[in-house]
């Protein structure tokens, strides 16, 4: 994996690197040009080579999966995508115009202007949701206003495509989003509800109308959770000139319960475009936040929702399929076992139509000593493992929707695999067993622990002394089965 530090004037895959437009914690943006492309383009490069944040890597993987599947004026045109095998990047249209971040300086805006901006963003949301994508990070800096007047979304690193596996949800069980704009469902780890984008847009419009963020700038999970039960100060109390119809729209967008929000972005769009048609409820005339009893009921409801699985809280993904987890050992000397595991994975997928293969490798962390993100050659270890996983699976010839790749980081590989299988409802685990030894018999092995504690069928792949593959199926209730010797 040869990666280069980009500099102005360099040429990468035919793209001439221009000035650096942005350098952030997640990625950098460079102006680029290429013969035959007659519109302005930029190259987005993840900031991962010296970092330790696995979410950056997985988020960039999601963006590479989602952006090429999108079309229309409300997203940037995609030119090229390159994965982590060498220099990862996304080349896309440079949207000429301005982000809504600058508009915040002019708040509070007149009600008609708030509705005009909201309608443009709602149009873009309608188009995005029709393409089965939830943005899940709606905020001023991620909304560009084109010179022609349309709103366009950028930065899809936290997004969800309902017809594709959600790598972020499968690997990280923490709220994903930007503090002031994250929806109650996202706080509860549910990334499947389009109404989350409506909530985030409501936060943005509330800020435009009042110059105040409805829940401030929460920095910790406890502050984030307050939006599950506490409603914001009514906008008309902050800015009396706000008309009842706009307060009705804002507070409906910001309902803690998604069932009480606008069901679709299209319905929100209609109200923003036809304020005289907005049906006013008690929200429109509210001048105080909800009382103690209402807030208490919401807290009880949020506690009940917290105990549900994420998919029970809101809308379900558009597609589902059996998940086969392949625990791939990429250690030196394990090449024959890795090959045997790939053969078994191909056999299982052949007999389970529609199944998805989740290729998992665990990067073992030290419990006491320091962990370094780079290897001796200066390569990011997490990225290297990700590339090796993809190389391992390539002979299977699976499409993007049929296979996903996950590098987990844990001091306990067996527990990491078991937790991943539980949280993602894996239907079967394929795992290799190394040769036995006195030490392994005494300490136990990863495969034996997985067999004993996995919530699903486990298939243990071994090598005979003749290097022929042997496969052992273990009962679905693994704790009732004998532990595999590894």
**Under 8 Å between Cβ of 146 and 172:** no
Question: Best-predicted range by mean pLDDT among 71-75, 82-86, 293-297, 477-481?
Answer: 71-75
Nearest to 128 by CA among 98, 166, 159, 92: 159
Of 36, 28, 38, 31, nearest to 16 (Cα)? 31
Assess contact for 406 and 62: CB atoms under 8 A: no
The tokens of 443 are what?
A: 């300490």
For residues 51-72, give the mean pLDDT.
Answer: 87
Does the pLDDT value for residue 141 go beyond 90? yes
pLDDT at 306: 61
pLDDT of residue 97: 94
- Locate the DSSP E strands across 280-410: 323-327, 356-364, 403-410
Mean pLDDT of the chain: 86
Largest Cα separation within the chain, whole Å, is 83
Q: Flag the least confident range among 76-90, 206-220, 263-277, 458-472.
A: 458-472
Residue 435: per-residue pLDDT: 64
Quick check: 136 pLDDT over 70?
yes
User: CA 355, CA 147: separation in Å to the nearest integer?
Assistant: 45
Token code pair at residue 72: 């229309």
* Average pLDDT over every residue of 313-319: 39
Average pLDDT over residues 288-303: 79
Distance CA 368, CA 386 (A): 25
Whole-number pLDDT of residue 177: 86
For strands 428-432 and 323-327, give the pairing: parallel
Distance separating alpha carbons of residues 157 and 142, to the nearest angstrom: 11
Looking at 127-245, which runs of residues are DSSP E strands? 133-134, 143-146, 151-153, 160-161
Q: How confident is the model at residue 52 (pLDDT cuts 50, 70, 90)?
A: low
How far, rounded to the nearest angstrom, does the alpha carbon of residue 284 sit from its chain's CA centroid? 35
Q: What are the C-alpha distances in Å from 289 to residues 52, 100, 183, 203, 253?
A: 42, 28, 19, 16, 15
By C-alpha distance, which of 240, 187, 230 is closest to 209?
240
pLDDT at 475 over 50: no
Can you tell me the distance from the alpha carbon of 178 to that of 167, in angstroms, rounded to the nearest whole number? 18
Query: How far is Cα 38 from Cα 61, in angstroms, rounded to an integer?
Result: 27
Range from 85-94, 306-315, 388-397 carrying the lowest mean pLDDT: 306-315
pTM score over 0.85: no
Categorize the per-residue pLDDT at 297 as very low, low, confident or very high, splitting at 50, 70 and 90.
confident
* CATH number of the structural domain 11-93: 3.30.200.20
pLDDT tier, 38 (very low <50, low <70, confident <90, very high otherwise)? very high
Residue 153 in 3-state DSSP? strand
The full set of domain ranges for the chain reads 11-93, 99-313, 323-480
Q: How sure is the predictor about 470, in pLDDT bands with cuts at 50, 70 and 90?
A: low
Which residues touch 67 (CB under 8 Å, ≥6 apart)? Answer: 75, 76, 78, 81, 90, 92, 156
Is residue 367's pLDDT more than 80?
Answer: no
pLDDT at 292 over 90: no
Q: Taking the domain 323-480, which CATH number applies?
A: 3.40.50.620
Backbone angles phi, psi at 390, to 5 degrees: -65, -40
* Top-confidence residue, 468 or 27: 27
pLDDT reading at 27 higher than 90: no
pLDDT on residue 45: 93
CA 13 to chain centre: 28
Amino acid 436: pLDDT: 59
The yes or no reply on domain 99-313 and CATH 1.10.260.40 is: no
Specify which residues 357 forms β-bridges with. 324, 403
| For residues 113-122, average pLDDT | 97
């Amino acid at each position: 994996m040869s990666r280069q530090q980009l500099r102005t004037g360099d040429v990468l895959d035919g793209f001439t690197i221009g000035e650096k437009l942005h350098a952030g914690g997640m990625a950098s943006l460079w102006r680029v040009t290429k013969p035959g492309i007659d519109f302005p383009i930029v190259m987005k490069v993840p900031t991962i080579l010296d970092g330790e944040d696995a979410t950056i890597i997985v988020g960039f993987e999601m963006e590479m999966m989602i952006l090429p599947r999108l079309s229309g004026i409300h997203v940037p045109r995609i030119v090229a995508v390159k994965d982590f095998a060498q220099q990862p990047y996304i080349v896309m249209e440079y949207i000429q115009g301005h982000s809504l971040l600058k508009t915040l300086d002019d708040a509070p805006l007149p009600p008609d202007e708030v509705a005009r901006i909201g309608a443009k963003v709602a149009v873009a949301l309608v188009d995005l949701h029709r393409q089965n994508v939830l943005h899940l990070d709606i905020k001023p800096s991620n909304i560009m206003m084109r010179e022609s007047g349309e709103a366009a979304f950028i930065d899809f690193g936290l997004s969800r495509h309902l017809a594709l596996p959600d790598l972020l949800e499968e690997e990280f069980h923490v709220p994903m989003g930007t503090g002031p704009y994250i929806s109650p469902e996202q706080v509860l780890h549910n990334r499947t509800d389009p109404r989350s984008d409506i909530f985030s847009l409501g936060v943005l419009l509330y800020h435009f109308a009042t110059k105040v963020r409805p829940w401030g700038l929460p920095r910790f999970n406890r502050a984030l959770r307050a939006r599950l039960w506490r409603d914001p100060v009514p906008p008309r109390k902050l800015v009396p000139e706000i008309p009842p119809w706009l307060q009705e729209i804002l507070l409906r967008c910001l309902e803690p319960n998604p069932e009480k929000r606008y069901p679709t972005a299209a319905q929100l769009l209609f109200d923003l475009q036809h304020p005289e048609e907005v049906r006013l409820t008690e929200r429109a005339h509210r001048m105080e936040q909800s009382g103690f009893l209402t807030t208490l009921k919401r807290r009880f409801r949020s506690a009940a929702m917290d105990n549900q699985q994420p998919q029970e809280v809101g809308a379900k993904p558009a597609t589902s399929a059996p998940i086969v987890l392949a625990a791939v050992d990429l250690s030196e000397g394990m090449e024959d076992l890795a090959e045997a595991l790939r053969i078994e994975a191909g056999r299982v997928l052949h007999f389970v139509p529609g199944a998805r293969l989740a290729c998992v490798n665990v990067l073992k962390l030290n419990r006491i000593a320091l962990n370094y993100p780079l290897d001796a050659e200066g390569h990011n270890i997490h990225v290297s493992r990700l590339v090796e996983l993809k190389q391992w699976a390539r002979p299977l010839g699976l499409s993007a929707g049929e296979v996903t790749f996950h590098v987990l980081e844990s001091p306990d590989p067996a527990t990491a695999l078991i937790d991943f299988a539980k949280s993602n409802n894996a239907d079967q685990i394929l795992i290799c067993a190394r040769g036995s030894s006195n030490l392994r018999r005494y300490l136990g092995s990863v495969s034996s622990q997985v067999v004993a504690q996995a919530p699903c069928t486990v298939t243990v792949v071994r090598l005979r002394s003749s290097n022929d593959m042997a496969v052992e199926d273990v009962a679905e209730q693994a704790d009732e089965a004998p532990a595999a010797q590894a």
